[in-house]
Chains A and B, each alone.
Chain A
Amino acid sequence: MAEMTPTGGAPADSFRPIPPRPPPSSAVGPVRWVRENLVSSPLNVLLTAIGLYLIWLIVPPLIDWALVSADFFGSSSDDCTSDGACWVFVGARFQFFIYGFYPDPERWRVNIMFLMLAAFLVPQFLPGTPAVVRKWLGIFGLTLYPLITAVLLLGGVFGLPAVETGKWGGLMLTLVLSYVGIVAALPIGILLALGRRSHMPIIRTICVMFIELWRGVPLISVLFMASVMLPLFLPEGVNFDKLLRALIGIVMFQSAYMAEVIRGGLQGIPKGQYEAAAALGLGYWRATGLIILPQALKMVIPGIVNTFIALFKDTTLVLIIGLFDILGAVQASIVDPAWGRVAVEGYVFAAFCFWVFCFGMSQYSQGLERKLHTGHKR
């Protein structure tokens, strides 16, 4: 201590502090990390022990089953000789899981649909895309893309052989259902949300009843209704095919949820914006379209993405009314007696497909939420 407090007589430059001692080994590096994050208290020691035991119980057998003693190559169940997973099954049925019964020579049409989807979706997620490009790609995705895809997949014109919707299936059907669901539900949802906030009592009542009716019942009953009751509602001679009926059910159901998300955004717009628009002499539709909706929709993009994730997972329900989405294709394949016990492999594959899409979208929406909320954080 004596050297650290220079006394009056000594020149200032003679002061030399002792170099700081290194911290004790228990306060740096991995040791410190373990002490702070794993064993900071007796309770934490116990919890860590339980956690490690659970991991030891689950992870090694899982890796062994899925990778070490699994069969990857081959073409039939005879190639699955070991105890582990039979990935041969997924490989052999891969085409069916992706395209369903879509005829083999026409599958390039589905591939073009996948490619176009990737081409306008990927730039949306990349940070460096200019805003103009983003906007026009978005408009393309919401308007032209569904039309082009419909012509491409259905065929029957421009020399493309017609493919009936009964043959659609697999991942492709899942994407078609969820994409049409979201694109059609968005405008209907906007109208319903505007109607629910309208000053006109009859319009408001109609919208509230529509929204609450669909939100209060399960999607299955809506799909049942679409497949059983819709034919009764239509005049005689008019008949929709199964896919269209399912789509009508999904769109009705989804637009009610979408309306509630968008209503949240509308409620977040300060009253001053409405008044400013009115002061500029804008009528209802121009004020809504030019001032209110652009702000409200931007605010609820995360909510819309979350609704889309829910819809994407919900499309699996169509297998109950007899459509073969990706889960339906897996379900139909695992009961094939030629392949023994492959249920787990099939489900893991389907789960992985859904997980990749849903996890990616939820990360995107969470990132967006963080970006949009920077101003409000304390």
Chain B
Amino acid sequence: MAEPAAPKSVAPWNNPRVRAVTFQAVALVLVLWFFWTIFQNTLTNMESRGITTGFGFLDNTAGFGILFSLVPYDESNTYGRTFIVGILNTLLVSSLGILFATLLGFIVGVARLSSNWLIAKMALVYVEITRNIPLLLQIFFWYFAVLRALPGPKQSLEFPFNAFMNNRGLYMASPDVEPSFWFVVATFVAAVVGSVVLIRWAKKRQDATGQRFPAWPTAFALVIGLPVIVFWLIGAPLLWDLPALEGFNFKGGVRLIPEFIALWLALTLYTASFIAEIVRSGIQSVSHGQTEASMALGLRRGTALRLIVIPQAMRVIIPPLTSQYLNLTKNSSLATAIGYPDLVAVFMGTTLNQTGQAVEIVAMTMAVYLTISLSISLLMNLYNRAMALKER
């Protein structure tokens, strides 16, 4: 405490330092007593219900199937495995949701500021509708009213590139990779590395001599062109595994389950409307004088946007964007309402029901979300520090 020491004549109950110590001691004792009581109650309750404590249950056989898994899983695997499957499914839908919500959010946010009245108003209508309707309702809408209401496999909707959609999900062609295809991948990686070197060199040369080099178009041509040339040179070693109707269902290709599509779509559309508002207010926060000054320097509109406006807008955008990413990750737990097997649905739902190990399971689940939350905010804080105003 920054206050000066109280004179000696003050009674102890009027001395701020004595008061602070007493107050904190009482608070600490109360909190400890609270947790101790809960701990005792829990032990007694679990004993009377015959629940054993500890994490031993993680090695037991789960015995239930999971609809969708990124790692091999079947009923003979352990409860520990269900934990991993759940985490991976949560991470999958959150990362895809974050990616697409950011893209859509930036597009809509810029559209709201468009000089085209129609586009600006359409973006406004989109934002006001999606962000004022609960996410769970939107998930239900996409899942029960749209995706589950699609016709069966025999009357599937057909899309370009051999994609089919029916009430069992979206079927798409999947690449069938032959060993020599890895040459193409290697070329792609080499092209990306080469482009980075090229862009660095071009920037250095421009800083030193003022001469410009079209680094970005060249890099683009390298990254796209080289792999394509190599691909044809070695004889197009890529076959597509096409989905085809066999009997009552589709075989081949890759299948996205409707639960995943509904959750991903709703998360993306809902979060994008919040991101759009963040982007709009970020761009509007850059004063118009900055644009005018860059015009006066002779920068073109696109260049001014890229070099002057957007870096300044990003400073305002990043902190609220971070909390939207966190919200999306936490909201992905609504999966449990439609049965997409995320961490909450699999582990806190089925596994908890089967084992009854409420304390351990809830603690593990919450720990995972806390870890994800803290990691995302750490990453975004690092990025924020890199983008923040550098004052001398």
Note whether A and B form a binding pair. Answer: yes
Question: Is the CB of A38 closer than 8 A to any CB of chain B?
Answer: yes
Given A343-B145, A354-B132, CB of A221 within 8 Å of CB of B116: no
Interface of A is mostly: helix
A360 to chain B, nearest CB (A): 9
Task: Please determine whether A52 and B23 come into contact, CB atoms closer than 8 angstroms.
Answer: no
CB neighbours (8 Å) of A358 from chain B are 131-133
Q: Which of B24, B27, B135, B141 contacts A313 (CB 8 A)?
A: B135
A206 to B140 Cα, complex, angstroms: 38
Contacts of B149 in A (CB 8 A): 341, 343
**What residues of A have a CB within 8 angstroms of the CB of B38 in the complex?**
233
Q: Is A51 located at the chain interface by the 8 A CB criterion? A: yes
Q: Which residues of B contact A327 (CB under 8 A)?
A: 134, 136-137, 140
In A26-79, the 8 Å CB interface with B consists of: 37-38, 40, 44, 47-48, 51-52, 54-55
Q: Report the count of interface residues on B (CB-CB < 8 A).
A: 56
Q: Which residues of B contact A236 (CB under 8 A)?
A: 41, 44-45, 48
CA distance A351 to B142 in the complex (A): 13
Considering only CB atoms, which chain B residue lies closest to A320 in the complex?
B337
Question: B41 contacts A44, CB within 8 Å?
Answer: no
Q: Give the residue of B27, B129, B134, B336 whose beta carbon is less than 8 angstroms from that of A206.
A: B27
A199 vs B27: C-alpha distance in the bound complex, in angstroms? 14
Contact with A along B118-154 (1 / 0, CB 8 A): 1100100000110111111100110011000100000
Q: Which residues of A contact B334 (CB under 8 A)?
A: 220, 317
Q: Is the beta-carbon distance between B369 and A217 smaller than 8 angstroms? A: yes
> How many of A's residues come within 8 Å of B, CB to CB?
56
Q: How far apart are B29's CB and chain A's nearest CB, in angstroms?
A: 11
A334 within 8 A of B: yes
A224:B348 contact, CB within 8 angstroms: yes
- A216 and B369: CB pair below 8 A? yes
Q: For B362, give the chain A residue with the smallest CB separation.
A: A225
Interface centre among A216, A225, A341 (most CB of B within 10 A): A216
Q: Does A231 contact B (CB under 8 A)?
A: yes
Query: Is the beta-carbon distance between B42 and A232 smaller than 8 angstroms?
Result: yes
Report whether A355 and B133 are in contact in the complex, using a CB–CB cutoff of 8 Å: yes
Which of A200, A309, A334, A344 is close to B23, meaning CB atoms less than 8 Å apart? A200
- Which residues of chain A are near B1, meaning CB under 8 Å? 199-200
B162 is an interface residue with CB less than 8 A from chain A: no
Tell me, rounded to whole Å, the shortest Cβ–Cβ distance linking B337 to chain A.
5
Min CB distance, B311 to chain A, in Å?
Answer: 20
Known contacts A200-B24, A236-B45, A316-B137: does B122 contact A54 (CB below 8 Å)? yes
Q: A316 to B141, Cβ gap below 8 A?
A: no
Tell me if A179 counts as interface (CB < 8 A to partner B).
no
Closest chain A residue, CB of each to CB of B334: A220
Determine the residue in chain A with the shortest Cβ distance to B331.
A218
Tell whether B222 is near chain A: CB-to-CB under 8 Å.
no
Task: Render A205-219 as a binary contact track against B, CB cut-off 8 A, 1 for contact.
Answer: 010000001011111
CB <8 Å contact, B136 and A316: yes
Complex A-B: 29 CB contacts under 8 Å = A38-B117, A44-B115, A44-B116, A47-B116, A55-B122, A200-B20, A202-B27, A202-B28, A203-B23, A206-B28, A216-B370, A218-B333, A220-B334, A221-B333, A224-B344, A225-B362, A228-B352, A228-B362, A235-B44, A236-B44, A313-B135, A327-B140, A331-B140, A334-B144, A343-B149, A344-B141, A347-B140, A351-B141, A354-B132
| New contact pairs (4) apart from A203-B24, A327-B136, CB-CB < 8 Å | A48-B116, A234-B41, A236-B44, A358-B132
